[in-house]
């Protein structure tokens, strides 16, 4: 077993190069505001995707550890629920300030474990921080409603916390996704158990440490680790009332179905295939830059990556120009100055992506730009794939029907905007889409007819800020999109509504005889 990491030591320094991991420390559980070395017998090795050097070992937390985390959250709940909103808000203010203070450290952990560039990792943290900042307004967001429904009678509605909730997170946004959950769940009075991705839990561990510093009482935020076994524990543990999941369809559909059958609320954001429709009247320079950035940024490992181009009419001739822009994207270790693009998460992921590129070739598409076999000189052992563009793709091809989740842009050609809309709507995913045009009328038509849940008009990655909600559609979200992350629906998800109807009448006005009819309040 490797030496357990001392949380305090980790707080003082953090690696800013890929070479600095000399003596890896095991990842710990975080229960009752304590970092606790796991007694696990099974460990998951976590490698830096740029070097494949060992960064840490992540435990498959034991049954006793999983239970201890829920015990802690359940024990903390009554007092946390009764903590005044203003006191919770003060803690959230401190939490926000600490995340900002430790921004670089969080980003460095992400670059090391996940591979994305340091600048991009800072964005990962910021998009989560914005949710925490918005949660500081909980005092006005949690207000209920009141209506005088009849003379002397009123109905009030309250939003009450659920109890213990859980979050199961993906690898691609190690800070943002935990921060979609922690601030809203806790500000609304719940306690939370989080299972970060076993592939990059480091940022979540730092978030836990900062939560303790901010003043969250023991048990309000707990972290456990592992893979499917931990997920099954969460799904089946009766004290967990709600599950927030972000990740693939395979895991998410299973968690949604079994979690719902167990009577839990489940919100589950799933996979994607995001299309951009490009019209000849668009601002060409803006569109081509936006597309190249959104297709290849974060090595295409964003659920809102713009992975599919629908070139309308003459714009099909622009694809080589996108390839020219893609060639100027610098692939390098995420800490390196000037790096635009990091590695993909694992050797398995690299292999899967390369196989999908090969399948496109075999099915008759054109590999216009081939990123296979490219690697930066300094990092020969990383999981590298350079920007890849596949042209002349047809909807039946595997590279179109499957989510690639790598730096690969697939391009299809159509003649009209109507054909583009039909093509995009025929795709089973519906996370995001974008249109590039100067015509308000065309954009309006697209916006109205398109079935994707998040639409960008000349905006390549239209992820809404936290005052709105993350509104995927179709196969990109489980349960028909009824439960969406953050914003007003996020508060709704983490609270139970209670309505109270009361009658206050002067004593002599109260009827002397029992009424057996259904009260109508009229
Ligand atoms: P993943 O489904 O492999 O893992 C997500 C979580 O589920 C992890 O914590 C993992 O431990 C767990 N898990 C994995 N397989 C499981 C199984 N068989 N049974 C139970 N639990 C399991 O997803 P990932 O590879 O980490 O993330 C990439 C995926 O997430 C992509 O499909 C991407 O589109 C999606 N994603 C979606 C959004 C969104 O908001 N729609 C955001 C980010 C990522």
CB atoms inside a 10 Å sphere around CB 112 = 31
Ligand 1: does its nearest atom lie under 6 Å from the Cβ of 431?
Answer: yes
Index of the ligand 1 atom closest to the CA of residue 472: 41
Q: Supply the residue whose CA is at minimum distance from atom 11 of ligand 1.
A: 227
**The pairing of beta strand 191-195 with beta strand 221-223:** parallel
Helices 176-187 and 202-214: crossing angle in degrees, nearest 10, is 30
3-state percent helix, strand, coil for the chain, nearest multiple of 5 = 40, 20, 40
Q: How many residues does the chain have?
A: 522
Q: What is the 248 CA–ligand 1 centroid distance (Å)?
A: 4
Q: How confident is the model at residue 518 (pLDDT cuts 50, 70, 90)?
A: confident
Place 519 in a pLDDT band, splitting at 50, 70 and 90.
confident
Ligand 1 centre to CA of 171 (Å) is 7
**204 has catalytic annotation:** no
Q: Which long-range contacts (CB under 8 A, 24 or more apart) does 374-379 make?
A: 374/331, 375/331, 376/331, 376/332, 376/333, 376/336, 378/332, 378/333, 378/336, 379/18, 379/50, 379/51, 379/332, 379/333, 379/343
d(CA 380, CA 136): 45
Residue 4 has pLDDT above 80, yes or no: no
Confidence of residue 24 (pLDDT cuts 50, 70, 90): confident
Average pLDDT, the chain: 95
Cα–Cα distance measured from residue 295 to residue 298, given in angstroms and rounded to the nearest whole number = 9
Bridge-based pairing of strands 54-59 and 43-47 is antiparallel
Give the pairing type, strands 145-150 and 153-161: antiparallel
The DSSP element (H or E) to which 114 belongs, if any, is: helix 103-114
List pLDDT tens digits, range 236-286.
Answer: 999 999 999 999 999 999 999 999 999 999 999 999 999 999 999 999 999
Residue 22: the pLDDT is 72
Q: Give the residue, out of 114, 180, 247, 345, with the most ligand 1 atoms within 8 A of its beta carbon, to mutate for a pocket test.
A: 247
- 367, 397 Cβ separation under 8 angstroms: no
270 CA distance to ligand 1 middle (Å): 7
246 C-alpha to center of ligand 1: Å?
6
Closest C-alpha residue for ligand 1 atom 19? 228
Q: Which atom of ligand 1 is nearest to the CA of 227?
A: 11
pLDDT in tens, 292-316: 999 999 999 999 999 999 999 999 9
Going from the Cα of 431 to the center of ligand 1, the distance in angstroms, rounded, reads 15
> For residue 482, what are the CA distances in angstroms to 8, 309, 489?
41, 29, 9
Count of C-beta atoms within a 10 Å radius of residue 172: 25
| pLDDT tens digits for range 161-190 | 999 999 999 999 999 999 999 999 999 999
Torsion sign across C-alpha atoms 187, 188, 194, 196: negative
pLDDT of 493 > 60? The answer is: yes
Is 251 touching ligand 1 by the criterion CB < 6 Å?
yes
Share of the chain above pLDDT 70, in %: 96
Beta-carbon contacts of 171 under 8 Å, excluding residues fewer than 6 positions away, are: 114, 197, 199, 200, 301, 345
CB 200 near ligand 1, within 6 Å: no
Closest ligand 1 atom, residue 485 Cα = 40
CA dist 43 → 17, 56, 141 (Å)? 25, 10, 42
**pTM of the model as a whole:** 0.95
- Tally Cβ neighbours within 10 Å of residue 521: 9
CA dist list (Å): 488 to 89, 334, 430, 493: 17, 35, 21, 9
Q: Which of 113, 199, 230, 251 to mutate to test the pocket of ligand 1 (most atoms within 8 A of CB)?
A: 251
At residue 507 the predicted structure's pLDDT band, cuts being 50, 70 and 90, is: low
Q: Which residue lies with its CA nearest to atom 6 of ligand 1?
A: 170
Looking at residue 154, its pLDDT comes to 96
- Out of 4-13, 76-85, 122-131, 466-475, pick the least confident: 4-13
Which helix (H) or strand (E) segment holds residue 513: the answer is none
Residue 293 is predicted with a pLDDT of 96
For residues 383-409, give the mean pLDDT.
98
| pLDDT value at 423 more than 80 | yes
Q: Provide the pLDDT for residue 508.
A: 61
Exactly one of 169, 303, 399, 411 is catalytic; name it.
Answer: 303
pLDDT tens-digit series, residues 328-381: 999 999 999 999 999 999 999 999 999 999 999 999 999 999 999 999 999 999
Is pLDDT above 90 for 217?
yes
Residue 411's SS3 state is strand
Given this model, what pLDDT does residue 450 score?
A: 98
Looking at residue 9, its pLDDT comes to 40
Angle between helix 118-135 and 85-101 (nearest 10): 170
Distance 196 CA to ligand 1 centre (A): 10
Q: Are 386 and 331 in contact (CB under 8 A)?
A: yes
C-alpha distance across the termini of the chain, in Å: 71
Coil, strand or helix: which one is 309? strand
Distance CA 318, CA 320 (A): 6
According to the model, what pLDDT value does residue 516 have? 87
d(CA 271, CA 472): 10
Q: Per residue in 86-96, pLDDT tens?
A: 999 999 999 99
Query: Could you give the CA distance from residue 131 to residue 96 in angstroms, rounded to a whole number?
Result: 10
């Amino acid at each position: 077993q490797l030496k357990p990491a001392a949380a305090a030591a980790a707080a003082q320094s953090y690696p800013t190069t890929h070479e600095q991991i000399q003596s890896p420390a095991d990842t710990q559980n975080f229960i009752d505001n304590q970092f606790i070395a796991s007694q696990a017998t099974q460990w998951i090795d976590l490698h830096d995707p740029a070097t494949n050097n060992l960064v840490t070992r992540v435990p498959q937390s034991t049954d006793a550890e999983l239970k201890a985390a829920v015990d802690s959250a359940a024990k903390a709940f009554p007092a946390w629920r009764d903590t005044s909103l203003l006191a919770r808000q003060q803690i959230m203010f401190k939490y926000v300030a600490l995340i900002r203070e430790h921004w670089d450290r969080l980003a460095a952990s992400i670059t090391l474990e996940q591979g994305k560039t340091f600048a991009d990792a800072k964005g990962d943290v910021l998009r989560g921080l914005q949710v925490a900042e918005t949660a500081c307004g909980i005092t006005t967001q949690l207000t209920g409603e009141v209506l005088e429904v009849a003379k002397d009678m009123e109905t009030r509605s309250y939003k009450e916390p659920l109890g213990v909730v859980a979050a199961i997170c993906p690898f691609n946004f190690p800070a943002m996704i935990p921060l979609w959950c922690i601030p809203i769940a806790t500000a609304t009075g719940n306690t939370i158990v989080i299972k970060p991705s076993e592939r990059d839990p480091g940022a979540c561990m730092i978030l836990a440490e900062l939560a303790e510093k901010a003043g969250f009482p023991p048990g309000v935020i707990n972290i456990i680790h592992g893979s499917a076994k931990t997920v099954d524990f969460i799904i089946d543990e009766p004290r967990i009332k709600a599950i927030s999941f972000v990740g693939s369809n395979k895991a998410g559909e299973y968690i949604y179905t079994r979690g719902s059958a167990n009577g839990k609320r489940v919100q589950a954001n799933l996979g994607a295939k995001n299309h951009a429709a490009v019209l000849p009247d668009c601002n060409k320079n803006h569109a081509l830059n936006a597309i190249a950035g959104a297709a290849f940024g974060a090595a295409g490992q964003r659920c809102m990556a713009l992975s599919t181009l629908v070139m309308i009419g003459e714009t099909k001739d622009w694809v080589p120009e996108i390839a020219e822009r893609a060639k100027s994207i610098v692939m390098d270790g995420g800490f390196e100055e000037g790096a635009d693009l990091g590695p993909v998460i694992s050797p398995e992921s690299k292999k899967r992506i390369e196989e999908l590129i090969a399948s496109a070739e075999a099915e008759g598409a054109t590999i216009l730009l081939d990123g296979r076999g490219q690697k930066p000189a300094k990092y020969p052992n990383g999981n590298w794939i350079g920007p890849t563009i596949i042209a002349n793709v047809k909807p039946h091809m595997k590279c179109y029907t499957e989510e690639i989740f790598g730096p690969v842009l697939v391009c299809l050609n159509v003649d009209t905007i109507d054909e583009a809309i039909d093509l995009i709507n025929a795709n089973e995913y519906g996370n995001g889409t974008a249109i590039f045009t100067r015509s308000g009328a065309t954009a309006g038509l697209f916006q109205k007819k398109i079935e994707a849940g998040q639409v960008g008009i000349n905006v390549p990655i239209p992820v809404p800020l936290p005052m709105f909600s993350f509104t995927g559609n179709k196969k990109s979200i489980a349960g028909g999109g009824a439960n969406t992350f953050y914003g007003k629906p996020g508060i709704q998800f983490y609270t139970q509504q209670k309505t109270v109807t009361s009658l206050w009448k002067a004593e002599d006005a109260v009827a002397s005889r029992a009424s057996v009819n259904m009260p109508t309040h009229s």
